[in-house]
Structure 1
Amino acid sequence: MSRRRPAPRAAAPAPRLLPSSPCPCGLPAAYGECCGRLHRGQAAATTAELLMRSRFSAFAAQDEAYLLRTWHPDTRPDAVEFDPALRWTGLEVLSTTEGGPFHSAGTVAFRAHYTEGREQGVLSEHSRFVRYEGAWVYLDALSLS
């Protein structure tokens, strides 16, 4: 996900995800055993889709360090700015191409649901992932119509 928003006016605490919380990525596992392991550096994403799911969860948790660590250095911003009024609420993976354990590139099309204040919204994106120094990283994205 590459959502870049205007700088927040006031900092708000990041949403708290407990190890026992449902994982924001939508897989049927607790956060601590799903994306939390990747965020803590205890595991690495084995596919482009798993990296995309873990990045969605990192946006939900406002984990800037993980997002920057999993962003290709050619396209990585200096910082990730989080809007304190925005909450990521759900993820739908629409399709994937390649991006498996034996590929060097892959794509994931998805819809990321959010609320901003009382308004609900959807970000649709087709993200490109590549292997960099052996690990999957986010390269860039095209918006879906």
Structure 2
Amino acid sequence: MTTPKRCPCGTGETYDDCCGPFHRGTAAAPTAEHLMRSRYSAFAVGDAGYLARTWSAKTRPKRLELDPDQRWTLLEILGRTGGGLLQAEGTVEFRAHYRLHGERGELRENSLFAREDGAWKYVRAR
């Protein structure tokens, strides 16, 4: 029997019960933090399509290429404002750790999220 794979976003849940439904399109992220976690997981599993679909049309790049050599290893949520079930905007501050060509690195960002047509979208770094 295969042990279910843990979700890269760090909730402790399995990928199939956590970010998997968002990536498959069978559920939508209910909060800005859920969307941020699912986008981190999309980077970790190489799902560029999900990243494009959850990026605001106002700021989304025309082309998105993921580096197959970059391995995302840990997500830390540092803070959040707004972004709840009944809110239209919010921020999530995070630190994402990775390995690239044998070297460790991290990305720290305070991301802005907003609802577009009822769905949370990544807008930009603040």
TM-score over 0.5 for the pair: yes
Number of equivalences: 125
Q: Could you say if the C-alpha distance between residues 139 and 81 of structure 1 is closer, same or farther in structure 2, counting changes exceeding 3 Å?
A: same
Query: Is this contact kept in 2: 1:107–1:126, CA < 8 A?
Result: yes
Correspondence 1:47-66 to 2 at 5 A: 47-66=31-50
In 2, Cα distance between the equivalents of 1:20 and 1:137? 28
TM-score, structure 2 length as denominator? 0.95
Name the counterpart of 1:99.
83
Tell me, yes or no, if structure 1 residue 131 matches structure 2 residue 112: no
User: 5 Å matches for 1:54-93?
Assistant: 54-93=38-77
| Residues 41-100 of structure 1 deviation map (CA, whole Å, 9 limit, x = unaligned) | 111100000000000000011101110100000001122111122111110000000000
> Which ranges in structure 1 are unaligned for 5 or more consecutive residues?
1-17
Stretches of 4+ moved more than 4 A in 1? none
Q: Please, which of 59, 80, 101 is the counterpart of residue 117 of structure 1?
A: 101
Picking from 8, 11, 34, the partner of 1:24 is 8
Over the matched positions of the two proteins, sequence identity in percent amounts to: 54
CA distance 1:79–1:20, change in 2 (3 Å): farther
Q: CA deviation at 1:138?
A: 0.2
Q: Any conservation in 1 of the 2:46–2:68 contact (CA below 8 Å)?
A: no
State the secondary structure of the residue aligned to 1:115.
strand
Distance 2:96 2:30 in 1: 21
**How far apart, CA to CA, are the structure 2 residues paired with 1:19 and 1:117?**
29
- SS of the equivalent of 1:103 reads coil
Letter in 1 for 2:11: L
User: Counterparts of 2:35 and 2:3 in 1: how far apart (Å)?
Assistant: 19
Q: CA RMSD in A?
A: 1.4
